[in-house]
């Protein structure tokens, strides 16, 4: 009985040892992430043991991903006598190099802040920066500390060109320089046309866009709020993209030239209406000339509504019979 127990216990121990050995067997990873410029055996193989720190490949560029075939890994570790490497069904290992990203918009913001502070270009939000070459997100080591800072800046206000050198964190104790050039300008918001409009056409919200234009191109009469343009009519035909000025717009014409209108004569206690023909157009409140079709006389009237003109009462006025002043 005791003998059977001992045999069973020995079998269990052997089975456990075999399972542990299988569990600790070196195994090829399907993917891995590295934090330096070197890929080591332990990055690619689980349970690599004492050779885990041995470098065998170069890592991809910062923030990039590459692959290495299983055959290349087996060949690279062959000199180190790694026994029982299990590649399983892994055909290649995906290797990603970890990094910290510095977005292009952050660099642009740093340049705009420096231009605002050193050259008095106004609020940062009003400064538009355009680089000579496309600026992309910059990748640095995960250990890199700090933010980009402007080390040198030169700006020519006559043509808007700038040259800048940025000091970038690249590692735990290292920094690198980034040289950039381009154009920058202080801008302001201005209302522009989204489409072509004809004379007298009334603008709607969809017809007006708010865009940023160089501040030097914007006059005092430019419209900067879309609500100030909506509901007004164009004085002349205009093309899309044109900045809107107050002088370009007018109140919508309620009476068109040569339009048949209703003439309204008002005197105390009496209102008389007759047909007339407008000899000029006008918006609400405008004084226009109208031909009275009944008397064939031209009269002046005030536009009060669509097709409706009130004749100005210019009859003689009597002076009040007031007592003499003492």
CATH code of the domain in which 299 resides? 2.30.30.760
Question: How many distinct structural domains can be found in the chain?
Answer: 4
Give the predicted TM-score (pTM) of the model.
0.61
| Cα atoms in the Cβ-side hemisphere of radius 13 Å centred on 282 | 22
Tell whether 321 is covered by a domain: no
Tell whether 204 is covered by a domain: yes
pLDDT in tens, 206-225: 999 999 888 878 888 899 89
pLDDT in tens, 139-151: 999 988 888 999 9
Residues 6+ apart with CB under 8 A from 272: 264, 265, 266
pLDDT in tens, 110-126: 999 999 999 988 899 99
Q: What is the CATH number of the domain that holds 39?
A: 2.60.480
Residues 180 and 135 in one domain: yes
Domain limits for position 78: 24-98
Residues 211 and 235 in one domain: yes
| CB contact at 8 A, 186 and 214 | yes
Residues 214 and 264 in one domain: no
Tell whether 193 is covered by a domain: yes
Tell whether 18 is covered by a domain: no
**pLDDT recorded at residue 12:** 44
**pLDDT recorded at residue 27:** 94
Average pLDDT over residues 72-95: 90
| Cα atoms in the Cβ-side hemisphere of radius 13 Å centred on 320 | 3
Does the pLDDT value for residue 304 go beyond 90? no
């Amino acid at each position: 009985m005791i003998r059977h127990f001992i045999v069973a216990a020995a079998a269990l121990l052997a089975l456990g040892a075999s399972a542990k050995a299988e569990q600790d067997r070196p195994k090829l990873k399907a993917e891995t992430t590295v934090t330096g410029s070197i890929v080591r055996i332990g990055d690619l193989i689980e349970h690599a043991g004492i050779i885990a720190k041995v470098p065998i490949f170069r890592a991809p560029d910062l923030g990039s991903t590459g692959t290495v075939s299983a055959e290349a890994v087996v060949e690279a570790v062959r000199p180190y006598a790694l026994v029982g490497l299990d590649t399983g069904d892994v055909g290649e290992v995906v290797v990603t190099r970890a990094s910290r990203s510095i977005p292009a918009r952050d660099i642009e913001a740093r340049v705009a802040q420096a231009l605002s502070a050193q050259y008095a270009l106004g609020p940062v939000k009003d400064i538009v920066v355009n680089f000579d070459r496309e600026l992309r997100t910059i990748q640095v080591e995960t250990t890199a500390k700090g933010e980009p800072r402007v080390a040198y800046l030169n700006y020519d206000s006559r043509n808007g060109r700038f040259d800048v050198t940025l000091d970038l964190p690249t590692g735990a104790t290292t920094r690198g320089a980034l040289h950039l050039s381009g154009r920058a300008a202080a801008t302001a918001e201005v209302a522009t046309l989204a489409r072509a409009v004809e004379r007298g056409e009334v603008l709607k919200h969809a017809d007006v866009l708010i865009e940023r234009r160089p501040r030097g191109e914007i006059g005092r009469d430019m419209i900067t709020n879309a609500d100030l343009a909506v509901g007004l009519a164009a004085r002349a035909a205009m093309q899309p993209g044109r900045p809107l000025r107050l002088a370009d717009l007018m109140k919508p014409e309620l009476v068109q030239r040569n339009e048949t209108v209703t003439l309204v004569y008002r005197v105390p206690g009496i209102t008389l209406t007759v047909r007339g023909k407008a000899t000029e157009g006008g918006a609400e409140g405008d004084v226009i000339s109208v031909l009275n079709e009944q008397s064939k006389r031209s009269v002046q009237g005030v536009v009060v509504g669509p097709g409706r003109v009130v004749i100005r009462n210019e009859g003689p006025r009597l002076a009040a019979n007031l007592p003499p002043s003492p």
